[in-house]
Amino acid sequence: MAPPVPRRREYEVIIVGAGVLGLYTAHYLSQRMDPGRILILEKGYLSAGASGRNGGGVRQQWETVPTIRLAQESVASYRRFPREFGYNPWFRQGGYLFLALDENEEAILGRTRSVLRREGLPVEWLEPRELGRLVPALSREGIRGGNYLRSDGVIFPFPVLWGLYQDLRRRGVEILLGTEAQEILRSGGHVAGVRLPQGRVDVPTVVNAAGGWSREVSLRAGLTVVNQPSRHEILATEPLKPFLDPMVVTLRRGLYFSQSMRGEIIGGLTLSEPAGGDHGMPSSSRFLGEMARELVRYLPALTSVRVLRAWAGFYDDTPDGLPVMGEDPRLAGFIQANGFGGHGFMLAPAAGRRVAQIALGEPTDLAPGVFSPDRFQTGGPPPVREGLQLG
């Protein structure tokens, strides 16, 4: 089937990637400019990338203040989502529980607690006995305690994507599914257009919100970047009676698991795999074995529970664990909005608003040097690192 033909030959902004960040960026742009001058390109189908393949966690527990503030705004946005968009994403705020398994991890969580409390978030430290009251099924063997923040939670991704998509279409934003940005065209150091399978369209501003494929999109603009895609796997078990309120996370191996409103246990962990997108997105027997062992270690009652399905998706990783948001200084009009690791869904409402401001040429409140694309081009170490880029 031939890809759809763009309605125009010229646009003001083209967004590459119809994941949650691209859709939120278009949402804010459409409030400030003619929606008909915005084009979103998605080479797959809606939810084909990480936005449709994640565990739905939405948390505010981070090490760095700029990320914490983006996360707080995003949590507030997701609470409003049903009223604003008419779709219920089942945002359940059962909290996030970060477990400490040794003295070093306990110290990390202690430092994180101090930062979070200064930002007004009432995170608690739970001793093993208190962990047993919060999650009676949790094996406390080898656990020193954990950080718990009740206002963190889990969201169902698909109503978010569909609600944003439908709202944008009603506003008149053009979204072309099954259409790839083959080349970002340049003229005199400035974005001039995008080459599609259907031909060229002219545009002065391109937003690279392609997630695990953002590195490829940058290369198609003639730019090398530090982002690296990495494959991560996830599974869902058969439904069980409700017994687990919080999302449980370990710093070791990036293990995370929660229970959906349908009763499934959903979770994943980080395997040691080569970086890059050459390995595709299949699930593996290795992951199933290792994930099963980890789940049974922490939830022994799951020994005989069946796994219904498993899948994979790409993280979009940066060396400092922080996303990239800003105009690339090497190409005017090329806006980087990527590098969110596995946490684009968590931060998309707040990040999309800032990316829209950048695309409009407006100042933002983003911390200078923390998220900007040029922080990797100076030759020195990044000024800030985020260590909780997991789960």
DSSP output for 62-103:
-SSHHHHHHHHHHHHHHHHHHHHHS-----B---EEEEE-SH
The residues, ordered by sequence, that sit 6+ positions from 362 with a Cβ below 8 Å of its Cβ are none
Taken as a whole, the chain contains a residue count of: 391
The architecture CATH gives domain 91-151+229-314? 2-Layer Sandwich (3.30)
Q: Do domains 1-90+152-227+318-391 and 91-151+229-314 have the same CATH topology?
A: no
Amino acid at 21: L
Q: How far apart are CA 96 and CA 98, in angstroms?
A: 6
What does the pLDDT read at residue 391?
47
Q: Beta 145-149 vs 153-154: how paired, if at all?
A: unpaired
Q: Are 64 and 323 in contact (CB under 8 A)?
A: no
Q: Which of 334, 42, 363, 30 is nearest to 203 (CA)?
A: 334
pLDDT string in tens for the chain (391-residue length): 677 899 999 999 999 999 999 999 999 999 999 999 999 999 999 999 999 999 999 999 999 999 999 999 999 999 999 999 999 999 999 999 999 999 999 999 999 999 999 999 999 999 999 999 999 999 999 999 999 999 999 999 999 999 999 999 999 999 999 999 999 999 999 999 999 999 999 999 999 999 999 999 999 999 999 999 999 999 999 999 999 999 999 998 889 999 999 999 999 998 876 655 555 678 899 999 999 999 999 999 999 999 999 999 999 999 999 999 999 999 999 999 999 999 999 999 999 999 999 999 999 999 878 999 999 877 667 778 887 877 4
Q: Are 221 and 16 in contact (CB under 8 A)?
A: no
Domain residue extents for the chain: 1-90+152-227+318-391, 91-151+229-314
CATH code that applies to domain 1-90+152-227+318-391: 3.50.50.60
Q: Are 96 and 249 in contact (CB under 8 A)?
A: yes
Q: How far apart are CA 75 and CA 324, in angstroms?
A: 20
What does the pLDDT read at residue 282?
82
CA 208 to chain centre: 14
How many other CB atoms are found less than 10 A from the CB of residue 103?
A: 9
Residue 241 burial (10 A CB sphere; 0-12, 13-18, 19+): exposed
Q: Are 207 and 24 in contact (CB under 8 A)?
A: no
What does the pLDDT read at residue 389?
75
CA 90 to chain centre: 18
Strand positions, DSSP E, 260-389: 265-269, 307-317, 324-327, 334-338
How many other CB atoms are found less than 10 A from the CB of residue 283?
A: 16
